[in-house]
Amino acid sequence: MSDLAKRLEHLTPRQRELLESQLRMKGLDVLAQASFSLSEASATTSKRESPLNQGRLINQSGRTMKFSLFFFSHDASKTTDDKYRLLMESARFADANNFSAVWTPERHFQDFGGLYPNPSVLGAALAMVTKNIDIRAGSVALPLHNPIRVAEEWSVVDNLSNGRVGIAFASGWHTFDFVLSPGNYKDRKEHLFQNVQIIRKLWRGEPVTFQGVNGEDAEVRTMPRPVQRDLPVWVSISNDPATWVKAGEIGANVLTAILRQPLNALAEKIQLYREARAKHGHDAEAGQITVMLHTFVGEDDNAVREIVRPSLTHYFRSNIKQFESHTDLSVKGRAESGSFHPDNLTAADLDAVASYYYERYFNQNLLCGTPEKCSHLIDHLGEAGVGEIACFIDFGVSPDLVLSSLPHLNVLRERFSGARSLSASTISPA
């Protein structure tokens, strides 16, 4: 164990809080922000205190929760013949087992996520191998696109799937992505909400006027007509409370994650969202909050911990390294805690820091472990107002292991659905 690892191991709860604060100030949100404070981690996972270890069922309230599958791809650069095997086989399993949806993202020019440059194309493929599950974009980076094309493409998918389409729209954030539409980067959030409303009108068959050749107005109605009269819409949101309010104002659902926001902060934003819906004439409780979680469910917590450790430790290590230019990350006034400036860290130190946060993240924010362990987090999310878990399953674990874990995930889904599945133990083509 490195000296840094030893220092991390012996931090007091107060020192951990200070470290968390310093990391947040330096932009290391991924590491610093968790659904519980670091000082609560040991209490959360204590075998003596946990009701799970006393044989009590966490979901005593009878609360229901929807489960969907979420894809982002850990590496698109691999030259294999079966790049989309995990997506297709998992979707077939979810389709046969009462999952609510499958989400595919839009990601450009990056190894991580690069399998998914156009969710409508993969949505059309999924429509052909499924019968029941909703097919959703998670998300379409709307400022990169002409809203007419988005409405046309997804109307095709809606027809192919017999009315199972839904779209989460995002503003986009990576500057390099905006080579597709460089003029929209600065005002990307304004473009997002303006074009969501345009797409809704086109989807309903209403005419929308656009500027045509030589500045002349052109009235457009898109074809083909979709099966659904109204398009189910989500807005993808991270932390900005104003965006939560705006999503409520337009009556959209919300797709978010807890990696960058504590549960109490998430609950507060959901309340702001509900209030905005009510204020603008929408049913306050009708909007759906979907939370994306890294997911791997198995029979043994320790075995799962080691299966997902390499992928997620690599993720945390990468996030530390990208902030090398930041200044002193030491815990002020706590000399024994040492300096955490990335420039001063050896490779072993970086591994120790990543492992330190992985352990706490595993215990707090991951849907990883046995159904009993995972139920605890789901119960807290339900209390906060979340209605659906988007299970992010392709973050680097081998496809064979992921596919073998799906029946265990289905056991967890059943616990919160109140209904039996069609085929909980097998993965077979539709």
Q: Map 67-109 to HEC letters.
A: EEEECCCCCCCCCCCCCCHHHHHHHHHHHHCCCCEEEECCCCC
* One domain, residues 333 and 204: no
CA 158/CA 127 separation, integer angstroms: 8
Q: Does 250 map to a domain?
A: yes
| Count: domains in the chain | 2
3-state helix, strand, coil in the chain (%, to 5): 50, 15, 40
Question: Structure tokens of 17?
Answer: 């809080």
Q: Does 90 map to a domain?
A: yes
Q: Does 142 map to a domain?
A: yes
Residue with more model confidence, 241 or 12: 241
Q: Give the domain extent around 307.
A: 3-50+301-362
Give φ, ψ of 347 to 5 degrees: -60, -40
Which range, 83-87, 113-117, 342-346, is most confident?
83-87
Q: What is the mean pLDDT of the chain?
A: 80
CA 417/CA 99 separation, integer angstroms: 10
What pLDDT shows up at residue 10? Answer: 57
Residue with more model confidence, 386 or 21: 386
Least confident of 191-195, 260-264, 299-303: 260-264
Q: Does 375 map to a domain?
A: no
pLDDT band at 14 (very low <50, low <70, confident <90, very high): low
With the CA atoms of 381, 391, 116 and 241 taken in that order, what torsion angle do they form, in degrees rounded to the nearest 10?
0
Structure-token match 């990883």, residue found: 368
Tens of pLDDT along 174-217? 777 888 888 988 998 999 999 999 999 999 999 999 998 888 99
What pLDDT shows up at residue 332? Answer: 34
* Contacts of the segment 404-408: beta carbons below 8 A, 24+ positions apart: 405/296, 405/297, 405/298, 406/90, 406/93, 406/94, 408/297, 408/298, 408/299, 408/370, 408/371
Q: Assess whether pLDDT exceeds 90 at residue 72.
A: no
* One domain, residues 189 and 320: no
| 117 CB-near residues (< 8 Å, 6+ apart) | 106, 107, 108
Q: Which residues pair with 392 in a beta bridge?
A: 70, 294
* One domain, residues 212 and 123: yes
Which amino acid appears at position 136 of this protein?
R
pLDDT band at 23 (very low <50, low <70, confident <90, very high): low
Alpha-carbon 72 to chain mean position: 9
CATH number of the domain that residue 164 is part of: 3.20.20.30
pLDDT band at 2 (very low <50, low <70, confident <90, very high): very low
Least confident of 148-162, 225-239, 257-271: 257-271
pLDDT band at 232 (very low <50, low <70, confident <90, very high): very high
* One domain, residues 140 and 172: yes
How many angstroms separate the most distant Cα atoms in the chain? 74
* One domain, residues 251 and 315: no
CA 66/CA 70 separation, integer angstroms: 13
pLDDT band at 18 (very low <50, low <70, confident <90, very high): low
* One domain, residues 76 and 139: yes
Q: Assess whether pLDDT exceeds 60 at residue 145.
A: yes
Give φ, ψ of 346 to 5 degrees: -80, 175
Give yes or no for a contact between 316 and 357, defined as CB atoms under 8 angstroms apart: yes
* One domain, residues 239 and 122: yes
Least confident of 55-59, 114-118, 136-140, 191-195: 55-59
Structure-token match 């119960």, residue found: 379
| 150 CB-near residues (< 8 Å, 6+ apart) | 120, 140, 142, 167, 195, 199
**Average pLDDT for 265-273:** 96
* One domain, residues 34 and 119: no
CA 246/CA 191 separation, integer angstroms: 13
* One domain, residues 276 and 330: no
* One domain, residues 244 and 264: yes
* One domain, residues 267 and 312: no
**Average pLDDT for 280-297:** 96
Q: Does 261 map to a domain?
A: yes
* One domain, residues 262 and 354: no
The Cβ of residue 425 has, within 10 Å, a number of other Cβ atoms equal to 10
Tens of pLDDT along 415-427? 998 654 444 444 4
Q: What is the DSSP letter of 41?
A: H
Q: Assess whether pLDDT exceeds 70 at residue 329.
A: no
Residue with more model confidence, 33 or 151: 151
Q: Does 252 map to a domain?
A: yes
What pLDDT shows up at residue 123? Answer: 97
Q: Does 421 map to a domain?
A: no
Question: Structure tokens of 406?
Answer: 């799906």
- The 10 Å CB-count burial string (b at 16+, else e) for 96-108 is bbbbbbbbbbbbb
Q: Does 74 map to a domain?
A: yes
Q: Assess whether pLDDT exceeds 60 at residue 159.
A: yes
What pLDDT shows up at residue 6? Answer: 55
CA 131/CA 96 separation, integer angstroms: 9
Question: Structure tokens of 14?
Answer: 């107060």
What pLDDT shows up at residue 41? Answer: 34
Give yes or no for a contact between 27 and 320, defined as CB atoms under 8 angstroms apart: no
